[in-house]
Amino acid sequence: MTATMLQEGDGWRLGWNEEREPFKALVGGEYWALELTQNEFEDLRRLGQQLAQTMTAMATELMPDERIACEQETAQLWIEAEGFYHSYGLRFILLHGRGGEGAWPATVVPAVLDGLARIKVF
């Protein structure tokens, strides 16, 4: 049985195929796509959720029109949220092995974060 999932919307897509090695995950935007290892995907998901929580927590510290950039990093991945606490884009860069980077605009980030949370990594 193949454990494959694909979620997509306007300007984003996320996929998971348990049987693919070593690149089990697919992440993409409107004009780009990149395969990730399970560890890279787990880092992207975890750090994306942490940055979302940080941006929400900053609401009480910022003026309504004030922009902010927050970033996090692991040995494999760097990720940044940039924009307003309620509307921000996400950008990531692979740091180990092959090169690659991707970004989602603020208009699709809520759907991307929801999709990342719903993909079950086995």
Domain spans, the chain = 4-118
Q: Which amino acid is at 3?
A: A
Residue 83: what pLDDT?
96
Q: Which CATH number fits domain 4-118: 3.10.450.50, 3.30.300.30, 2.30.31.10, 3.20.20.20?
A: 2.30.31.10
> Helix (H, G, I), strand (E, B), or coil: what is residue 118?
helix
Q: Please list the rounded mean pLDDT of every run of 10 residues in the chain (122 residues).
A: 80 95 96 96 96 93 90 97 96 94 98 92 62
* Distance between CA atoms of residues 25 and 5, nearest Å: 9
Residue 44: what pLDDT?
97
| Alpha-carbon distances, residue 23 vs 34, 46, 86, 98, 119 (angstroms) | 9, 18, 32, 12, 15
* Distance between CA atoms of residues 104 and 92, nearest Å: 9
Burial of 95 (0-12, 13-18, 19+ CB in 10 A): middle
Residue 122: what pLDDT?
56
Residue 1: what pLDDT?
38
* Distance between CA atoms of residues 74 and 41, nearest Å: 12
